[in-house]
Structure 1
Amino acid sequence: MSQSIRSSSLGYPNIGADREWKKTLEAFWSGKISEQNFNEEMEGIRLERLRRQNDSGLGLVPVGDFTYYDRMLDTAAMFGLVPQRFSYEGGPVSLELYFSMARGNAGATACEMTKWFNTNYHYIVPELNGAKPSLTANLPLQAYVEAREKLGIQGKPVLIGPLTFLKLSKGYNAASETDAWLDRLIPLYGQVLAELQAAGAQWVQLDEPSIAGDLGADDWQRLQRIYTELAAAAPELKLIVQTYFDAPDNYAALVSLPVAGIGLDFVHDRGRNLQAVLGQGFPAGLTLAAGVLDGRGIWRADPDAALALVRELAAVVPADRLLLQPSCSLLHVPVSLAGEGALGAALQGALAGADEKLAELALLAEAAGLSAAELSAGAGRGAAAAAGFAAGRQALAALNALPQREAAAVRAKARLLGSSRASRASGFAERRQLQQQRWQLPFLPTTTIGSFPQTAEIRSARARWRKGSLDNAAYETFIRDQINDWISLQEEIGLDVLVHGEFERTDMVEFFGEKLAGFAFTANGWVQSYGSRCVKPPVIYGDVDFVEPMTVKETVYAQSLTDKPVKGMLTGPLTILNWSFVRDDLPRSEVALQIALALRKEVEELEKSGIGMIQVDEPALREGLPLKKSRWPEELKAAVDAFRLATTGVADTTQIHTHMCYCEFSDIIDTIRDLDADVISIETSRSHGELIHSFEENIYEKGIGLGVYDIHSPRVPSVEEMVAMIERSLRSLDPELFWINPDCGLKTRGKEETAASLNHMVAAAREVRANRVESSHIN
């Protein structure tokens, strides 16, 4: 193989090497910098990320994937799809309006936010609701021109494809209005592409991950229509229809689209895309954009396996029509993991962030252009590639030699206990009666999800403690002071079930990972979760095991300060799994059982210490599910098995709570029942109506709290808003089983707005209680 193969990427992290993107956003939101300063700083960040990608040797550098908040929101703004409550009158969407859609403002609630397919990234859900779209600004064109004129980069504009954009939007009847909406959107997409063509763009990537999900015959016909019309609108452009996260079910229909290239994920496809290419061939004249490196994991690729895959593809697709790339956008990994020497050479050498993955891609493209003999000779043309391959093999060998990789006793016990589903001693009805006798809770009990504001003072104290400038005793006193203040404030507000506030915790997953065997932590491995919110996922590299109690000290201290119950707060096994970078040499279900076994021991420690309400949060239960529903049953069974292994070893009088983020409840209601938690709280405020509708069709007979206000927005909702939300919920749910709580944890909010919102929430609960009592007396 002598002809070189080009490389490309689907997208790159927004946040910057030092999270400068996040810092700029938050400085602007807080009024510390002007809009002009904001735009100037964002331009610098945007250009720097393009330089880094260009310097890596990419043949095609993506442009237009950079965003001030979210690309789905960008697309909605580009087409003037602004909800009516924002009083939009047409024309370009201002920065103030753009951020109001994302975060809400004093007069309007924010747009719904939900997970991007099965990742931990959240996108803003466009609301159509009778809007009349128009092209307000050609954002891909602006990005393309900027890259060319300021850096000399002939970029590849990237935008979300029409079918995926429509499927991820709300506010229309998908059964009857999809084609009408395509009638409105396709001409606008065509205008975007025509203007790109006129400006000199050559390749354009249209992201259509929905194609890798469950599409019906109508959708495949729509794809033909969409891309026939778009190809006609810009006939000189080379359009790539890009899929990822799984394999399309109709390969033949996909490769028959009238476009220049098709992007396929060869990492998360379970071998189906490779089987299709080898078995059905690949059309002449069509370019294959092959996702051959994992775009959402942080493990260094096995160079020999990756090259073998490329050689298989190159046997079918000529080198001049083969484009090597990551499996998806690198948005889901840190910018770089090159500076993580504190992890130790063996572990650090096996990790790869976005920059390292682009370097791997360049190495793979170089090796693919060599014959096997040239590469194995390790001299001449093949010297550099041979050295790179040798380094990759050595790094993986060093990782696998680490003693933490395998703990035989942990594996044996997890497999034994996971071989059959664990159960509580009694059913919910009996447990509920015993728990009510123990706790004597009022009608419509109020609580929170767990965390309270992580102020600058708290973050500073933690940083000083980690650096050693604040000793353990002083730090523990500081944390206790925070717990004291917030227990007092919760009692003053009038909450019925309290929490200790989680002031000792950085992140709900990182905190537990730091205390369990088998985890490692990067110093700068940040990834974007939503908006400016960045998380630093733990790295699960070895077998997971319990070491010592993790939450008992703070929870028991909080309980000593009040006569009201204080919940113990744990993160569930599936959420720890889904919000970590997980080893790729074991089935994920086996790693989940190891985590569950460790959490079961923590639950036992809490119960032994007198904590009788324990919340095991699973906000990520739904998000890790595959794109195809045919694969859900196996995944959901594994999730329930892990949760029940963690939570079912307690007495009937111990009340198990859990929390999860909004999902299509009706899709997984049986799974939620099977968790057998005594109380579940669900993040719903941005989609309350949709969730209530699902309860009108599905009976849920255990304790439940639907979030009555949105914690992702800084606005303080009124008592009247919350009363209306509670009353609507009670029309579909058993009032005797209903709990009142915010949408999610309150870590990211300010103290004053948190206290104000909770005061309103308790006032709303009391008003509804009073109304119900008055109504019962009248009747």
Structure 2
Amino acid sequence: MVQSAVLGFPRIGGQRELKKVTEAYWQGKVSVEELLAKGKELRAHNWKLQKDAGVDVIPSNDFSYYDQVLDLSLLFNVIPERYTKFDLAPIDVLFAMGRGLQRKATETTAAVDVTALEMVKWFDSNYHYVRPTLSHSTKFELNTKAGIKPVDEYLEAKNLGIETRPVILGPISYLYLGKADKDSLDLDPLSTLDKLLPVYKELLAKLKAAGAKQVQIDEPILVLDLPESVQSKYQGAYNSLVGDEVPEIVLATYFGDVRPNLNVFKGLPVSGLHFDFVRVPEQFNEVLTVLSDKQSLSVGIVDGRNIWKTDFAKASAFVSKAVEKLGKDRVFVATSSSLLHTPVDLESETKLDPTIKDWFAFATQKLDEIVVITKNVNGEDVADKLAANAKSIKSRQESSITTNPKVQERLATINESLATRKVPFNERLPSQQEKYKLPLFPTTTIGSFPQTKDIRVNRNKFAKGQISAKEYEDFINKEIETVIRFQEEIGLDVLVHGEPERNDMVQYFGEQLDGFAFTVNGWVQSYGSRYVRPPIIVGDVSRPKEMTVKESVYAQSLTKNPVKGMLTGPVTCLRWSFPRDDVSQKIQSLQLGLALRDEVNDLEKAGITVIQVDEPAIREGLPLRAGKERSDYLNWAAQSFRVATSGVKNDTQIHSHFCYSDLDPNHIKALDADVVSIEFSKKDDPHYIQEFSNYPNHIGLGLFDIHSPRIPSKEEFIARIEEILKVYPANKFWVNPDCGLKTRGWEETKASLTNMVEAAKHFRTKY
């Protein structure tokens, strides 16, 4: 019979239990035992939930306290020496690599001061992983100080009476996604594959000894443009991993098209293959050609990346094609990828419009979808489920909620003139210099300041009607004034209002735009303990009224320094929402560009003439393979940004910000922003600076990691800037942090920014 399978489940808990206990541990409020106990409780709940739903193949080792790739680095002893010289517990080594650690000495412990490893986007998702960082001295071995996580969690489930399939990132993807440490820049991580494979096999053997019959090994890089030198490694690598002493291997890919790498799969000694047919259904026929007579096919047909209900009729027909070719015993109905990227449970959303809510399926509901499709293909009676699903699909297709004729008419007016500044940057620059009279090495921040408990409490009170709009506005204005006065006090040049009124950089705007729906508990992990509630684009997007002008004007009234108006760009609003799947992302992005154009123009009319439109997701949205789809994306993504920002005067200065991606200067150049700021503090390859040395407009390379609690000294800032100035011109360089400061506390924010400004003053004197 056809079986159902899940590739991974959200680990955060329906009420963000993992975030709460992890942050409490970092603050010293709970013990390590309490932290580990909560993790065990969440895992048990997830396994039982899937078993009770009737899922046949349930994953284990999909849980993590920070990041699943970082877990593997800890397990395989890929731990840079700077983390091993301190006597830290394994969980603290994990957190130090993920977020850095700065701790003063006590009578019993030595001082610790170590930065975090580099963090980048997981393919084209908004999930961030911590890059494996290898050096010539890396010695691969199973690090058993905290047990062997995949084995321990498999046994944990087994003791609950639940058989699971452990999930492990594959060895080639693990190394390919890694990097060389700063002292070993000549090292190609993939050159260490032969040393890593025996450790993988040792792990697999331990899983077999524990009773695991099958493991899921993820090789997601097989949807990328891989050189032949990488493709050719697969056959030998997997030949070395298989054997009687290890479980069967199901090789999984997701997020894209495997066809350019199809030769990799031919003759691969694995028991089954998983492919993402939600993203690329057209690869089906060619994929079948690489299956041997005994290999199974896992059909990724329930979307692991979005929240729309699966069309049971279409999905069942697709799976039936596989059954016709392979027979029922060789087919699995599966999620397209891990459900990590979706909210936990739709049932907790009691405030959603019932009509719209009926169109959605969150992770818990997707379990039922997989099971229903499986039963349908197996010939079981699920007629009532099929009828209800068909009704939901039809309701959405015919709903007036999704369509706004005025938005569609305006969209047709977009042309190149609408998306082009009046004059080029070199002609705008003199008027901006005359207007703002900024010093050399101008200092600024990215936008947000600490979101304190007091801010969250008052926002919650206002949402519940416990304080009036006037009381809330007075509170927000007081917070804005505090931020402005602090920035003036330490000598920042271009200020921000701190964004105390904003819950999230996308959600805040989505709540004020037509065409969006919102959740109360629709949290998704972005990285570590940072969770977001992505808005859901349900229809054509427009801006009914001003969104940010009031707060920006108030902030500017408090100071003579320029205060930036702060907006989130169209591509980021699109990518960090759950987008529609019934119209193209290009259309949605351009609609957002038009809505933001209205806001940019209104800010300028109100006297806010430094305006930052952030696009941290622009690289994330890049199609994974080169070709027409990628070039088309780059064109419409840049066009969307320019539509939003090109209606202003020459002396209005447009900023943008990018973070946690491998950026191409050409992509940023196409936006034609006057000043860009880029996350940079954890980049240690000098070639990365070199890539931006010829960037024509002005740039700020981020100088400290805002995801880490550590405070860089003035001397550290000076040393960092000196390295940058070896290849980047001083007259174009801005001084700023990596990203917004909302996740930081006030004490570390004040100290870090003060040291940063003092470093800028040092270079003004020097130059």
TM range (shorter): over 0.9
Q: Does 1:623 align with 2:620?
A: yes
User: Quick one: distance in 2 between partners of 1:283 and 1:178?
Assistant: 31
Give per-residue Cα distances to partners, 1:515-572, cap 9 Å, x unaligned: 0000010111000000011100000001000100000000000000000000000000
Residue pairs, 1:331-480, within 5 angstroms: 331-370=340-379, 381-382=380-381, 385-417=382-414, 422-480=419-477
**1:262 is paired with a residue of what secondary structure?**
strand
Check whether the contact 1:227–1:257 (CA below 8 A) recurs between aligned residues. yes
Aligned to 1:664: 662
Aligned to 1:264: 275
Report how far residue 692 of structure 1 moved.
3.9
Give per-residue Cα distances to partners, 1:31-50, cap 9 Å, x unaligned: 11111121112211111111
Check whether the contact 2:341–2:524 (CA below 8 A) recurs between aligned residues. yes
Q: Does 1:597 align with 2:597?
A: no
**1:685 is paired with a residue of what secondary structure?**
coil
Residue pairs, 1:734-753, within 5 angstroms: 734-753=729-748
Q: Does 1:551 align with 2:544?
A: no
Report how far residue 402 of structure 1 moved.
3.0
Query: Segments of 4+ in structure 1 off by > 6 A?
Result: 172-176
The correspondence for 1:318, drawn from 327, 331, 334, is 327
User: Quick one: distance in 2 between partners of 1:642 and 1:691?
Assistant: 30
Q: Would the alpha carbon gap of residues 175 and 366 (structure 1) be closer, same or farther in structure 2, given more than 3 Å must change? A: farther
Q: Would the alpha carbon gap of residues 176 and 225 (structure 1) be closer, same or farther in structure 2, given more than 3 Å must change? A: farther
Aligned to 1:243: 253
User: Quick one: distance in 1 between partners of 2:480 and 2:607?
Assistant: 18
Q: Would the alpha carbon gap of residues 21 and 488 (structure 1) be closer, same or farther in structure 2, given more than 3 Å must change? A: same
Report how far residue 448 of structure 1 moved.
0.4
The correspondence for 2:97, drawn from 90, 98, 101, is 101
Q: Does 1:120 align with 2:126?
A: yes
User: Quick one: distance in 2 between partners of 1:768 and 1:182?
Assistant: 45
Check whether the contact 1:81–1:132 (CA below 8 A) recurs between aligned residues. yes
Q: Which runs of 5+ in 1 are unaligned?
A: 371-380, 773-779
User: Quick one: distance in 2 between partners of 1:770 and 1:471?
Assistant: 50
Aligned to 2:207: 196
Check whether the contact 1:341–1:348 (CA below 8 A) recurs between aligned residues. no
* Amino acid corresponding to residue 654 of structure 1 in structure 2: T
Residue pairs, 1:575-594, within 5 angstroms: 575-594=572-591
Report how far residue 60 of structure 1 moved.
0.9
**1:325 is paired with a residue of what secondary structure?**
strand
**1:435 is paired with a residue of what secondary structure?**
helix
Report how far residue 664 of structure 1 moved.
2.6
Aligned to 1:154: 163
Residue pairs, 1:216-227, within 5 angstroms: 216-227=227-238
The correspondence for 2:766, drawn from 753, 757, 771, is 771
**2:623 is paired with a residue of what secondary structure?**
coil
Q: Would the alpha carbon gap of residues 473 and 690 (structure 1) be closer, same or farther in structure 2, given more than 3 Å must change? A: same
Check whether the contact 1:573–1:618 (CA below 8 A) recurs between aligned residues. yes
Report how far residue 412 of structure 1 moved.
2.2
Report how far residue 415 of structure 1 moved.
3.1
User: Quick one: distance in 2 between partners of 1:308 and 1:182?
Assistant: 41
User: Quick one: distance in 1 between partners of 2:131 and 2:547?
Assistant: 37
Q: Would the alpha carbon gap of residues 609 and 462 (structure 1) be closer, same or farther in structure 2, given more than 3 Å must change? A: same
Give per-residue Cα distances to partners, 1:463-488, cap 9 Å, x unaligned: 00000001100000000000111111
Report how far residue 690 of structure 1 moved.
4.8
Report how far residue 421 of structure 1 moved.
6.5
Q: Which runs of 5+ in 2 are unaligned?
A: 103-112
Task: Between 450-459 and 180-189, report the one with greater CA deviation.
Answer: 180-189
Report how far residue 340 of structure 1 moved.
2.1
* Amino acid corresponding to residue 217 of structure 1 in structure 2: E
Report how far residue 87 of structure 1 moved.
3.1
Check whether the contact 2:419–2:643 (CA below 8 A) recurs between aligned residues. yes
Check whether the contact 1:443–1:769 (CA below 8 A) recurs between aligned residues. yes
Residue pairs, 1:281-320, within 5 angstroms: 282-320=291-329
Report how far residue 418 of structure 1 moved.
5.1
* Amino acid corresponding to residue 296 of structure 1 in structure 2: R
* Amino acid corresponding to residue 214 of structure 1 in structure 2: D
Check whether the contact 2:6–2:55 (CA below 8 A) recurs between aligned residues. yes
* Identity of matched residues, %: 44
Structure holding more helix per residue: 1
Task: Between 45-54 and 709-718, report the one with greater CA deviation.
Answer: 45-54
Check whether the contact 1:513–1:538 (CA below 8 A) recurs between aligned residues. yes
Residue pairs, 1:605-644, within 5 angstroms: 605-630=602-627, 631-644=629-642
Q: Does 1:327 align with 2:324?
A: no
* Amino acid corresponding to residue 265 of structure 2 in structure 1: L
The correspondence for 1:132, drawn from 122, 139, 155, is 139
Report how far residue 420 of structure 1 moved.
6.7
Q: Does 1:681 align with 2:677?
A: yes
Aligned to 2:105: none
User: Quick one: distance in 2 between partners of 1:94 and 1:178?
Assistant: 24
Check whether the contact 2:262–2:290 (CA below 8 A) recurs between aligned residues. no
Q: Does 1:44 align with 2:51?
A: no
Aligned residue pairs total: 749
Report how far residue 498 of structure 1 moved.
0.4
The correspondence for 2:728, drawn from 718, 726, 733, is 733
Aligned to 1:526: 523
Report how far residue 632 of structure 1 moved.
2.2
User: Quick one: distance in 2 between partners of 1:656 and 1:180?
Assistant: 44
User: Quick one: distance in 1 between partners of 2:729 and 2:401?
Assistant: 49
Alignment TM-score, normalising by the size of structure 2: 0.95
Give per-residue Cα distances to partners, 1:78-133, cap 9 Å, x unaligned: 0111112123489x961121111111112110111111010000111111112111
Check whether the contact 1:282–1:316 (CA below 8 A) recurs between aligned residues. no
Give per-residue Cα distances to partners, 1:652-682, cap 9 Å, x unaligned: 01000000014333xx222211100000000
Q: Would the alpha carbon gap of residues 401 and 740 (structure 1) be closer, same or farther in structure 2, given more than 3 Å must change? A: same
User: Quick one: distance in 1 between partners of 2:17 and 2:410?
Assistant: 45
* Amino acid corresponding to residue 426 of structure 1 in structure 2: V
Check whether the contact 1:405–1:542 (CA below 8 A) recurs between aligned residues. yes
Give per-residue Cα distances to partners, 1:726-758, cap 9 Å, x unaligned: 121122222111100000000010011101111
Report how far residue 342 of structure 1 moved.
1.9
Aligned to 1:10: 7
* Amino acid corresponding to residue 646 of structure 1 in structure 2: A
**1:74 is paired with a residue of what secondary structure?**
helix
**1:250 is paired with a residue of what secondary structure?**
helix
Report how far residue 396 of structure 1 moved.
1.9
Alignment TM-score, normalising by the size of structure 1: 0.94
Name the Cα RMSD after superposition. 1.7
Q: Does 1:482 align with 2:479?
A: yes
User: Quick one: distance in 2 between partners of 1:197 and 1:104?
Assistant: 35
Q: Does 1:77 align with 2:74?
A: yes
**2:179 is paired with a residue of what secondary structure?**
coil
Q: Does 1:111 align with 2:117?
A: yes
* Amino acid corresponding to residue 212 of structure 1 in structure 2: V
Aligned to 1:717: 712
Report how far residue 397 of structure 1 moved.
2.1
* Amino acid corresponding to residue 191 of structure 1 in structure 2: E
**1:590 is paired with a residue of what secondary structure?**
helix
Report how far residue 254 of structure 1 moved.
1.1
User: Quick one: distance in 2 between partners of 1:705 and 1:341?
Assistant: 44
User: Quick one: distance in 2 between partners of 1:312 and 1:694?
Assistant: 51
